């Protein structure tokens, strides 16, 4: 889906420098990953690949990712001091740098630990745009441009119907939908971009579906 450029894509956004892909994009990946994890982690590990690994320290990619996970947005002037903030918040962090040319030049794998553990991967595709492309091994395509419902569940016939019927009952329009399942075919995932935010009552109804293990309702990011 080609996005129409607005005036504010050109005379904006307001961001922390120095790089829209290596700094602002990193903040955004961290920020969305933090929202998906759903809590401030006790421990977080970032593995930066390729260009992120090679030039990341000079661009503050490390600080951007960490700041994002801690809930800082792209224009937060505290990003520069993300390490100090993490220490204050008792979040332990670790960075690894690697090369893998099978991956996008600006890729990162994030492992978050707290009351549970999640693995989230993202890429910074340029101009501050990002994509969360993997959560706990499942393929996703989340860029923060839409309200997004994330579900991981035990795979059985009729699950997509049950979820979309529920959305329909709330008169919510689906912009895009992305499904995946694990190798054994026992577990599956859905990433659903919606034109409006899912209300809490709908989330409670989804929680009642016993096959569903994980539900996240991610609000569209401000631009």
For residues 206 and 213, give the distance between their C-alpha atoms in angstroms, rounded to a whole number. 10
Min separation Cβ 222 and other proteins, Å: 11
Q: Which is nearer to other proteins, 6 or 92 (CB)?
A: 6
Is residue 13 a contact point for other proteins (CB under 8 A)?
yes
Instruction: Decide: residue 204, CB within 10 A, 0-12 exposed, 13-18 middle, 19+ buried.
Output: exposed
The CA-CA-CA angle for residues 134, 138, 143, to 5°, reads 40
Min separation Cβ 177 and other proteins, Å: 24
Is residue 19 a contact point for other proteins (CB under 8 A)?
yes
Q: Which stretch binds other proteins (CB under 8 A): 12-20, 146-154, 164-172, 182-190?
A: 12-20
Is residue 173 a contact point for other proteins (CB under 8 A)?
no
The site for other proteins, by CB under 8 A, has a size of 36
Instruction: Decide: residue 221, CB within 10 A, 0-12 exposed, 13-18 middle, 19+ buried.
Output: middle
| 140-165 burial code (b ≥16 CB/10 A, e <16) | bebbbbbbbbbbbbeeeeebeeebee
Give the one residue of 39, 58, 89, 196 binding other proteins; rule: CB under 8 A: 58
> Distance of alpha carbon 45 from its chain centroid, rounded?
15
Interface positions, 77-96, toward other proteins (CB under 8 A): 77, 79-80, 95
User: What x/- string results for residues 126 through 155 when contact with other proteins is judged by CB under 8 A?
Assistant: xxx---------------------------
Q: Which of 76, 66, 77 is nearest to 30 (CA)?
A: 66
Is residue 28 a contact point for other proteins (CB under 8 A)?
no
Is residue 5 a contact point for other proteins (CB under 8 A)?
yes
Residue the block writes with tokens 């996008």: 104
List contacts with other proteins (CB under 8 A): 4-20, 23-24, 51, 54-55, 57-60, 62-63, 75, 77, 79-80, 95, 126-128
């Amino acid at each position: 889906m080609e996005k129409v450029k607005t005036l504010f894509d050109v005379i904006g956004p307001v961001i922390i420098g120095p790089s829209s892909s290596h700094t602002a994009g990193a903040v955004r990946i961290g920020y969305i990953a933090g929202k998906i994890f759903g809590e401030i982690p006790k421990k977080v590990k970032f593995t930066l690949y390729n260009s992120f690994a090679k030039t990341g320290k000079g661009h503050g990619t490390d600080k951007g990712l960490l700041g994002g996970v801690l809930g800082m947005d792209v224009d937060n002037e505290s990003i520069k001091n993300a390490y100090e903030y993490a220490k204050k918040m008792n979040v332990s962090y670790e960075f690894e740098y690697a090369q893998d040319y099978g991956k996008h030049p600006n890729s990162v794998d994030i492992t978050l630990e707290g009351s549970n553990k999640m693995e989230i991967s993202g890429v910074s595709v340029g101009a501050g745009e990002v994509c969360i492309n993997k959560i706990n091994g499942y393929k996703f395509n989340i860029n923060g441009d839409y309200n997004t419902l994330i579900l991981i569940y035990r795979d059985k016939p009729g699950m997509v119907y049950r979820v979309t019927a529920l959305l329909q009952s709330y008169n919510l329009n689906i912009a895009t939908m992305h499904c995946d399942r694990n190798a054994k075919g026992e577990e599956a995932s859905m990433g659903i971009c919606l034109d409006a935010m899912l209300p809490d009552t709908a989330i409670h109804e989804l929680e009642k579906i016993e096959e569903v293990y994980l539900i996240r309702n991610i609000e569209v990011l401000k631009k």
